[in-house]
Amino acid sequence: MSSSTKYPVSAGKIAALEARMAELGIREQDIDERFIRGGGSGGQKINKSNSCVQLEHRPTGTVVRCQRERSQSLNRFLARRELCDRIERLQRGEVLQEAKEISKLRRQKARRSRRAKQKILEQKRKRAQVKALRGSVESD
């Protein structure tokens, strides 16, 4: 990734990306790069061109797809930047934390089963009865 003709971005951005990849220990030899047809809107252009870039970092097994731009070369640059972000989060242990938060949200949003609702209502009735018995004592 040494020449600035590889990506349609400034030389400074390319140098920053190379430095970041070196800092994270990501080598070009460890990356499998594939060009595939993207999905979603775009019509004939997206159906005909392989502008979507898929990178796989073999040592970590991290896979990144990028089809943000129409240009394949720009998507190559953006995919490498995204790969750096993911591997950095993986090294910091944030990926596990994110996965935990996502699964927690999923559990919170899940609807309760009919049986679970019945059990909750039974417990509420029992608790209400206990509290009702706490009324003031009247003397005769």
Just give the CATH number of 11-92: 3.30.160.20
SS3 54: strand
1-51: pLDDT as tens digits: 444 467 889 999 999 999 999 999 999 999 999 999 988 887 887 888 899
**Pair 87, 57: CB distance under 8 Å:** yes
Q: How far is CA 83 from the centre of its chain?
A: 12
Beta bridge partners of 54: 34, 65
103-131: pLDDT as tens digits: 999 999 999 999 999 999 999 999 999 99
In the chain, what are the domain boundaries? 11-92, 97-132
Question: How many Cβ atoms sit within 10 Å of the Cβ of residue 54?
Answer: 16
